Amino acid sequence: MSDLQKTVVLLKPDALQRDLLGEIINRFERKGLKIVGLKFIRLTDELLDIHYAHLSDKPFFESLKKFMMQTPVVGIVLEGLEAVSEVRKIIGSTNPRQADAGTIRADFSMNVPSNLIHASDSEETAQNEIKRFFSNHEIFSYEKISDRYIFGEGV
Ligand code: IDP
Ligand code: MG
pLDDT digits (tens, 9 = 90+) for 57-71: 999 999 999 999 999
Beta bridge partners, 35, equal 78
At 115 the pLDDT is 98
Task: Choose one of 12, 14, 48, 94 to mutate for the ligand 1 pocket test, by most ligand atoms within 8 angstroms of C-beta.
Answer: 94
**Does residue 94 line the site of ligand 1, with CB under 6 A?**
yes
Determine, yes or no, domain membership for 103: yes
pLDDT digits (tens, 9 = 90+) for 7-42: 999 999 999 999 999 999 999 999 999 999 999 999
DSSP sequence for 99-132:
SPTTSHHHHH--SSS--SEEE--SHHHHHHHHHH
At 110 the pLDDT is 98
Cβ within 8 Å of residue 95, ≥6 positions away: 111, 112, 115
CATH of the domain at 108: 3.30.70.141
Determine, yes or no, domain membership for 54: yes
Determine, yes or no, domain membership for 17: yes
Burial of 69 (0-12, 13-18, 19+ CB in 10 A): middle
The whole domain housing 135 covers 4-150
Determine, yes or no, domain membership for 155: no
> Would you say residue 124 has pLDDT above 60?
yes
129 vs 2: which has the higher pLDDT: 129
Give the chain's domain count: 1
Which of 51, 54, 118, 137 is flagged as catalytic? 118
Determine, yes or no, domain membership for 69: yes
